[in-house]
Structure formats: C-alpha cells, structure tokens
Amino acid sequence: MAAGESMTGGAAVSRWIGSANAGYARYAQQELVARFGEVGFQELIPGELFLASIRRSEADVARLLRGNEPVFLRHIHPVQTEFPASRGEEDLLRLQQWLESAGPAISPGDRVGVQARRKPETEYGYTPYAVKEALDRVLTERFAAEPVISGPDKVVSVYMGESSVYAGVSAASDNLSDWNGGMIRFKREDGFISRAKFKLLEAEVRFGLDWSAYSRAVDLGAAPGGWTSLLLERGLRVTAIDPGELDPSLTGHPNLTYHRRKAGEVKMERAAYDLLVSDMSWDPRQSAKLVAEIAPAIRPGGTALMTLKLLRGKPFQSMREVEGILAPALRIVKAKQLFHNRDELTLLLTRPSDS
C-alpha cells in the first residue's frame, strides 16, 4: 500500500487534491464520481479546489485518469501526508522530514519539481518559494535528485490550506499537467495581439500538437488575429476569415490570406486545408453548426481545433449536443477545459478518413 493510502472495508482509499477553473469544481467532482463511484469531497477553495477521497489505490486512480482524462479536472495530485499548519518554520521542518521518508518514490538522477501553493488571502510565515528551497535541499542531499522548474519526471506537491498542510509525491504524468495546479503561464511578447493566443499556446502543449504535420490552415472568426499570428509564427499558410478587422501588424504577411467577411460567404475548396481552427464567442450550437458545414474543406484525416463557450449549469449537455451536431463530419479526439479557457472548453477533432 502506497504512502498516504488507507484501508476501508478491505479496499485501499487514496486522497487527492483536485483543481478546476473557477466555478467548475462541481463538474470535475462529477467526473470523478462517474469514474470511481462513491467519492468523498472536502472543499478547499470554493468552486475551484477540493480534497477527494477515492476507494482506489493511487496507482489505479492515476492509471484510469491518464487513460480517460476528465474534461473539467484540470490538475490532480496525491495527498500522502497532512498535518496541522503552524504557519511557521515548523511546517518546513515537518515537510523535510516527510520527504526524507518518501525514499522509494524518488531515485538518484530524477528530475523533480517542487510545486507549492497556498490558499489565497491566507497568511503564512513563509512563502511557497521557501517551501521549494527547503525541499530542494532534501532532494539533492538525501536523494541525489535534480531539482527542476520545468519538465520534471516527478513532482513534490504541497498545498498550504487554511488550517492544514497537504503534500504528496507523484510522477508528473499522473497529475494531468506538470504545471503547478495546471496553471500554465506564458509571457506577453513583443507584438502580442490578444490573450486568445494563450489558449492556442496551451492547447499546443496540452494536446501535443505538431505543427510540422500541417501546411495550410483556415482560422474562422480570426479577428483580431491572436490564433492567426501563432499559426504564422509556426510556419503555416493561413486563411483568416472574419468580418472584423485583423491587427495591422499582420497586414502584408506573405503567408496570410484575409477575407473580411462572414465564413458562410467565403467559398472554400474541398480538402483544401490540413487544419481548421475556431475561437468564436458564439452559442456552442451555432459554432458547431458552422464548423460542421465547413468541415469538408479539411482533408480527410485532417484536424480541427475549436473553443466552445459553455452555458452555465449545462456543460455536459452542451458537449453532447455539440458532438451530435459535429458528427459525422468531425470526431472529437479530446475535450478539455484549459486554464486559459475560463467559461469555455477546447475541442481537438479529426475529420474521418472515410468522409
């Protein structure tokens, strides 16, 4: 039995801290119940962060979530120790002592990230960075591991709550995201057009998109050009369609064709594109209908990536309706509410080869 697991009625019970976008924790919890049956929940940050007790081993939970990743559960990590928070140096000492005893989980040479966060507006006598410094010393001196900030093999996760400190060690792949709490951050670079670009950058990472597999893309609802700009940076030829105006910085780009009109007014050849992207602020059913109508412009086996604005209180119903509208023209490969999505989610789709 792994550290942090207990036995209830002969079955292992593991504990996890789950994260979702603000206001969507209950949907992430519903996803866990659908997969594991009875799950106990304790709220840590209303609508966003929770502690889950699952009647499965850590290994089983991680394996099942990796194989069928939830839509609204953005990040999860195991809780293998919990103790009352002193909010002072004693907490750091207890965390060091716990990590020193977690020997089998960490091996020499492992790349290990320490990810610490605390409940907003909760005062501690130390910072999350102080937690990292204290635990990095244990990683190097006790385990001969390599502390890293990005691309870890394993993660030491620490959450400083209102009255307790929670911690666990896991493979980075078991957390659904190797970013702290799944909160992936990007810098605003020179020439930044809109925050919409962050959504496509995150999708690139989370979906493992290989832009070299595409040469021609069409961007529906492109204005002001956040997604178009990234696709051009990645070397694609882009057809941008929107009655609104693109950012002047894109004017004259040699790989850009711009139609300042509605998508339905633009004639597109069949199988002309490898990739279709859409980030329109429409009702999800309207967005799905438009994308389904234009789907023949994608080559068989090609890809579509679109965001859906969610109707509050009915996200799963919206997803079912959209899936029905898109089929059989497009098949959903993955649906995920990304950190930068807010009240929406991102769909990765493919056009079936026999269509």
Can you tell me the distance from the alpha carbon of 263 to that of 266, in angstroms, rounded to the nearest whole number?
Answer: 5
Report the DSSP beta bridge partners of residue 275.
217, 303
Q: Which of 228, 201, 203 is nearest to 216 (CA)?
A: 228
The tokens of 81 are what? 């120790």
Cβ count within 10 A of residue 178: 21
Cβ count within 10 A of residue 162: 11
Can you tell me the distance from the alpha carbon of 222 to that of 229, in angstroms, rounded to the nearest whole number?
Answer: 10
Where in the sequence numbering do the catalytic residues fall? 309
Phi, psi torsion values for 8, nearest 5 degrees: -135, 115
**Checking DSSP bridges between strand 216-220 and strand 154-160, what pairing results, if any?**
unpaired
Q: How far is CA 248 from CA 113, 224, 251, 278, 332, in A?
A: 41, 9, 5, 20, 34
Burial per residue of 261-298, b for 16 or more beta-carbon CB atoms within 10 angstroms, e otherwise: eebeeeebeeeebbbbbbbbeeebeebbebbbebbbbb
Q: Which of 160, 157, 59, 177 is nearest to 113 (CA)?
A: 157
**Largest separation between any pair of C-alpha atoms in the chain:** 68
Structural contact between residues 143 and 108, judged by C-beta atoms closer than 8 angstroms: yes
- Cis-peptide, bond into residue 296, ω within 30° of zero: no
Structural contact between residues 92 and 126, judged by C-beta atoms closer than 8 angstroms: yes
DSSP symbols for 86-106: -SSHHHHHHHHHHHHT-GGG-
The tokens of 131 are what? 């937690």
